[in-house]
Amino acid sequence: MRPPALRRRTLLGWGAAGVLAAGCSPPAAPGAVPVQWVGASHARGHRLRRSGALPPVAVERRAGALVLGAGVAGLAAARGLRQRGIEEVHVLELEDQPGGNSRGHQMAGMACPLGAHYLPLPGPQAREVSELLHEFGLLKQELGRTVADERHLCHSPQERVFFEGAWAEGLLPPVEPGSRTAQQLQAFAAAVAAVQREGAGRRGEPAFAQPAHRSAWGALQAELDAQTFAHWLGARGFDDAHLRWYLGYCCRDDYGATLDEVSAWAGLHYFASRHGFHAPGSEAEAREAVFTWPEGNAWLTQRLAAPLGDRLHGGRTVLQVTEGRHAVEVLAWDEAAQRLERWTAPQAVLALPLFIAARVVQNAPAALTQAAAQLQYAPWLVANVQIDAPLFDRPGAPPSWDNVVYGGRGLGYVDAMHQSLRPVPGATVLTAYHALPRSERAALLADDPSPWAARVLAELRQAHPDIDQRVQRIDLMRWGHAMAIPVPGLQRHAALQALRSARGRLRFAHADLAGCSVFEEACSAGAEAALA
Per-residue pLDDT tens digits for 49-100: 665 688 999 999 999 999 999 999 999 999 999 999 998 999 999 999 999 9
Task: Classify 241 as helix, strand or coil.
Answer: helix
Task: Classify 257 as helix, strand or coil.
Answer: coil
The mean pLDDT of 398-404, rounded to a whole number, is: 92
Per-residue pLDDT tens digits for 484-527: 999 999 999 999 999 999 989 999 999 999 999 999 999 999 99
Contact status, residue 435 vs residue 252, Cβ threshold 8 Å: yes
What pLDDT score does 286 carry?
Answer: 55
Dist CA 56 CA 47 (whole Å): 17
Per-residue pLDDT tens digits for 470-488: 999 999 999 999 999 999 9
**H/E element, 405:** strand 402-405
Q: Is the pLDDT of residue 10 over 50?
A: no
Contact status, residue 9 vs residue 172, Cβ threshold 8 Å: yes
What pLDDT score does 146 carry?
Answer: 92
Task: Classify 159 as helix, strand or coil.
Answer: strand
Dist CA 420 CA 417 (whole Å): 5
Q: How many CB atoms lie within 10 A of CB 166?
A: 15
Per-residue pLDDT tens digits for 196-245: 999 999 888 999 999 999 999 999 999 999 999 999 999 999 999 888 98
Q: Is the pLDDT of residue 150 over 50?
A: yes
Q: Is the pLDDT of residue 406 over 90?
A: no
28 contacts: CB under 8 Å, gap ≥ 6: 457, 468, 471
What pLDDT score does 421 carry?
Answer: 80
What pLDDT score does 26 carry?
Answer: 47
What pLDDT score does 7 carry?
Answer: 38
Read off the amino acid at residue 113: P
DSSP for residue 342: E
What pLDDT score does 8 carry?
Answer: 31
Per-residue pLDDT tens digits for 298-356: 999 999 999 999 999 999 999 999 999 999 999 999 999 999 999 999 999 999 999 99
> In whole numbers, what is the pLDDT of the chain averaged over residues?
90
Dist CA 520 CA 505 (whole Å): 24
Q: Is the pLDDT of residue 40 over 80?
A: no
Exposure on the CB side of residue 182, measured as CA atoms within 13 A: 10
The mean pLDDT of 412-434, rounded to a whole number, is: 91
- Where does the pLDDT of residue 163 fall: very low under 50, low under 70, confident under 90, or very high at 90 and above? confident
Q: How far apart are the first and last CA of the chain?
A: 35
What pLDDT score does 168 carry?
Answer: 87
Read off the amino acid at residue 118: Y
140 contacts: CB under 8 Å, gap ≥ 6: 134, 146, 147, 149
Provide the greatest CA pair distance for the chain: 73
The mean pLDDT of 353-369, rounded to a whole number, is: 96
**H/E element, 394:** none
- Where does the pLDDT of residue 144 fall: very low under 50, low under 70, confident under 90, or very high at 90 and above? confident
Contact status, residue 40 vs residue 315, Cβ threshold 8 Å: no
Q: Is the pLDDT of residue 280 over 50?
A: yes
Backbone dihedral angles phi then psi of residue 378, each to the nearest 5 degrees = -95, 130
Q: Is the pLDDT of residue 9 over 70?
A: no
What pLDDT score does 71 carry?
Answer: 97
- Where does the pLDDT of residue 283 fall: very low under 50, low under 70, confident under 90, or very high at 90 and above? low
What pLDDT score does 425 carry?
Answer: 86
Q: Is the pLDDT of residue 23 over 50?
A: no
